[in-house]
A and B are shown apart, each in its own frame.
Chain A
Amino acid sequence: MRLLAEGLSARRGEDLIFNDISFALGEGDALVVTGPNGSGKSTLLRVLAGLLRAESGRLRIEGGPAEIAHPYELSHYLGHRNAMKQELTVRENLSFWQHFMGDSPGGSGIDVAAAAEAVGLAGITHLPFGYLSAGQQRRMAMAKLLVAYRPIWLLDEPTAALDAGADRLFAALVTAHLERGGIIIAATHQPLGLGSTQSLQMKGFTH
């Protein structure tokens, strides 16, 4: 399975925020998107996630499951916000996403307890999500990537609010996903600790 982007551009207001972005990622490939604030990293990821319409260009999957209409149906998106409910417990949150999202063809998610274990927070799944610290909340949002299988992960500043230990833990999750044949596109300022990756430098507005 390959994810192909051809000549993507996106507009915010009057200006093109990026123009003619193309890449091809195969199984086990990662793309790290870097660039200064406001250069369009998040916009690019939201275009890839189908949440913003691209001004031009197209995005497609080659050799993927036949029933998939858009690449975003095969993607996890971890944005700035964690997509978890403060009022519900961690377990309720994770098991909701597990049941609601379901697994993409070709893999299966791990159960909620194992996912919490994988992010190093096994003992606190009974607490309301709102009780956790910012870093713990972020880790639990990552556990969401594990409970439902998606081959493509779109990560926007995944390691914000994380300590060094969690950084390493996250790098391990990412590596494991790539070894299983997943595809990762991450926007980040910090190095993710990935091995062989492609990289994309965003430059910002073009007028």
Chain B
Amino acid sequence: MIALFFRDLKLSVRAGGGTMIGVLFFMTVVAVVPFGVGPDLNLLSRIGPAMLWIGALLASLLGLDRLFQAEREDGSLDLLLMQETPLLMTVFVKCAAHWAATGLPLVIASPLLGLFMNMNELAIGATMLTLLAGTPAITFIGAVGAAVAVALPRGGLLVSILVLPLAIPVLIFGVSAVYAAIEDPAPFLPPFMILMAITLFFAVIGPVAAAAALRHSAD
């Protein structure tokens, strides 16, 4: 299992992998926002957390369709399916590696992009924390979409469409936790706890559903 984690990590970091592409896409999305809404610093700092969250959501969707498709194309998926180790553990480890390679860099890049949006330290800190808690959920939800679309030749867009509605709660509670942290009356903890609960929930449901979809995709 550890071998699988490090193999997937290596594949993401090497040429053609998802790590740099995700971060660059995240930067592009966030960097065009100030050009779009104009140089109003107050407005930018107000919409900043939401923009970072939307950017991170879209960037994490970007590489998801390759999660199982790449394995299927070179025949590795057959061997992953045949092992004694439960398939849902294999899926869980692949998700963890995918998040470490594509989700974590987004979290790390977010403070820099927060500066683009004229956010203060507290807002940047809260955004980083909520992204750290929320992006794993997007990966686990996305794994289900990736498993369903594994046999489709151009499944990328389909995965995004399947996954986005399920990822909306993550976005809502992530952004509302950030606003709760920077605006005084609303408490920070309740939305943040719900965000973590969503992540834990999908960490259990996601691998089970994805494993079931992979078992039935065999041809």
Interface residues of A (CB under 8 A from B): 46, 49-53, 68-69, 72-73, 75, 77, 79-88, 92, 95-97, 99-102
Whether B74 pairs with A50 at a CB distance below 8 angstroms is no
* 1/0 contact string of B1-35 vs chain A (CB within 8 Å): 11110010011001111000000000000000000
Whether A73 pairs with B82 at a CB distance below 8 angstroms is yes
| 10 chain-A/chain-B pairs, Cβ below 8 angstroms | A50-B81, A52-B218, A77-B78, A79-B75, A85-B7, A85-B11, A85-B74, A96-B4, A97-B79, A100-B7
Whether A68 pairs with B84 at a CB distance below 8 angstroms is yes
Count of CB-CB pairs between chains A and B under 8 Å: 70
Task: Report if B76 contacts A (CB, 8 A).
Answer: yes
Whether A100 pairs with B4 at a CB distance below 8 angstroms is yes
Whether A75 pairs with B82 at a CB distance below 8 angstroms is yes
Given known pairs A101-B79, A101-B83, the reply for A92 and B74 (CB within 8 Å) is no
Whether A51 pairs with B11 at a CB distance below 8 angstroms is no
Min CB–CB distance B81 → chain A (angstroms): 6
Secondary structure call for the A interface? loop
Task: Report if B40 contacts A (CB, 8 A).
Answer: no
Residue in A46, A77, A88 whose CB lies within 8 Å of B79: A77
A96 CB contacts on chain B under 8 angstroms: 3-4, 7
Min CB–CB distance B83 → chain A (angstroms): 6
Whether B75 pairs with A88 at a CB distance below 8 angstroms is no
Given known pairs A83-B75, A85-B76, A100-B3, the reply for A50 and B16 (CB within 8 Å) is no
Residue in A82, A87, A92, A95 whose CB lies within 8 Å of B16: A87
Q: What is the bound-complex CA distance between A52 and B81, given in angstroms?
A: 11
Whether B74 pairs with A83 at a CB distance below 8 angstroms is yes
Closest to A51 in B: B218
A51 CB contacts on chain B under 8 angstroms: 78, 81-82, 218
Q: What is the bound-complex CA distance between A91 and B10, given in angstroms?
A: 13
Task: Report if B219 contacts A (CB, 8 A).
Answer: yes
Whether B82 pairs with A50 at a CB distance below 8 angstroms is yes
Whether A84 pairs with B10 at a CB distance below 8 angstroms is no
